[in-house]
Amino acid sequence: MRAILILLWLLIPLGAIAYHYGPGVDGQARDHAAEVIAKAEKRLAEDDPAGAVRAYDEAVTSLPASDIATARRLRIERAKARIAASQLAEASQELGSLVEELQADSAADPRLVDDARDALAASDFYVAWLKRLEGLSREEWEPHAESARQTWRRLADEAEADGDTQARDRHAKDLEAVVRLARMEPDELQGLPIPKECKACKSGKCRNCRGGKKPGRNPGQGQGQPKDARGASSGPPPDDSGS
């Protein structure tokens, strides 16, 4: 009996080591990722989206390779922060790849797929807007506006079919905004007061706050934070169909 107890006592350190290099490592990685995510949310609340991007970078790399769904969620949130930080080229590239990845995965959460599609449409919307402010030709900005319009049209129709009236109404407002954007004259766009994300909700979907800054003129490296023109009161009214 004594020999068995001694053997069990000797095995305790081996169990601790196995946990540390097995499940323990994943647990530590998740704990660290959670701390960094909290830091990213704090940066967003402080109107520091670039800092949030860096924090999300760290969180994504900290996660265990098995946490695919969490990593995808963080990649979407990082892309949203990049949009807010005027890193539109990077956001569009990542969201485009992520949407393809999610749509190819039959096990992916449909809500995550829709969120990625919604964020990609928002990225296209901002790119179209900034290109219009640059005075670029219709051939330069219209494909982005049309891509956003089609995506939000589909999302609104799918939400309607699912009976999700809140999502339907939100996507319908987005759809109205991109139609309005395409119809505006350049001088109307220049003088438009542009709502920005609400720091309280941090959802990227709030249209109650307005900011006075104009977005940066370079779609990839704008100096100002892109502000959401969706829901703005000026500009010609959209048509009923959104097409």
pLDDT digits (tens, 9 = 90+) for 17-68: 344 444 444 567 677 778 888 888 999 899 999 999 999 999 898 888 888 9
Residue 226 scores a pLDDT above 60: no
Instruction: Report the C-alpha gap between 213 and 197 in whole angstroms.
Output: 13
Range with lowest mean pLDDT among 1-15, 33-47, 136-150, 210-224: 210-224
The residue ranking higher by pLDDT, 91 or 6, is 91
What band does 104 get if pLDDT is binned at 50, 70 and 90? very high
What band does 2 get if pLDDT is binned at 50, 70 and 90? low
Q: Would you state the pLDDT for residue 1?
A: 54
Instruction: Report the C-alpha gap between 32 and 52 in whole angstroms.
Output: 15
Say if CB 236 and CB 200 are below 8 A apart: no
With a pLDDT cut of 90, the percent of the chain lying above it is: 50
For the chain, give the DSSP string: -HHHHHHHHHHHHHHHHHHHTTHHHHHHHHHHHHHHHHHHHHHHHTT-HHHHHHHHHHHHHHS-TT-HHHHHHHHHHHHHHHHHTT-HHHHHHHHHHHHHHHHT-TTS-HHHHHHHHHHHHHHHHHHHHHHHHTT--HHHHHHHHHHHHHHHHHHHHHHHHHT-HHHHHHHHHHHHHHHHHHH--HHHHHT--EEE--TTT-SS----EEE-PPPPSSTTT-SSPP---TT-S-SPPPPSS--
Q: Would you state the pLDDT for residue 177?
A: 92
Indicate the residue type of 36: V
Residue 161 scores a pLDDT above 70: yes
Fold of the domain spanning 24-211: 1.25.40
The residue ranking higher by pLDDT, 106 or 64, is 106
- Tokens standing for residue 133: 């402010």
Average pLDDT over residues 171-184: 93
Q: Would you state the pLDDT for residue 115?
A: 96
Residue 198 scores a pLDDT above 70: no
Q: Would you state the pLDDT for residue 26?
A: 58
Q: Would you state the pLDDT for residue 3?
A: 53
Is-above-0.75 flag for pTM? no
Residue 242 scores a pLDDT above 70: no
The contacts of residue 197 (CB under 8 Å, 6+ apart) are 84, 203, 204, 206, 209, 228
Residue (of 90, 93, 89, 117) closest to 103 by Cα position: 117
What are the boundaries of each domain within the chain? 24-211
- Tokens standing for residue 69: 């769904």
Residue 173 scores a pLDDT above 50: yes
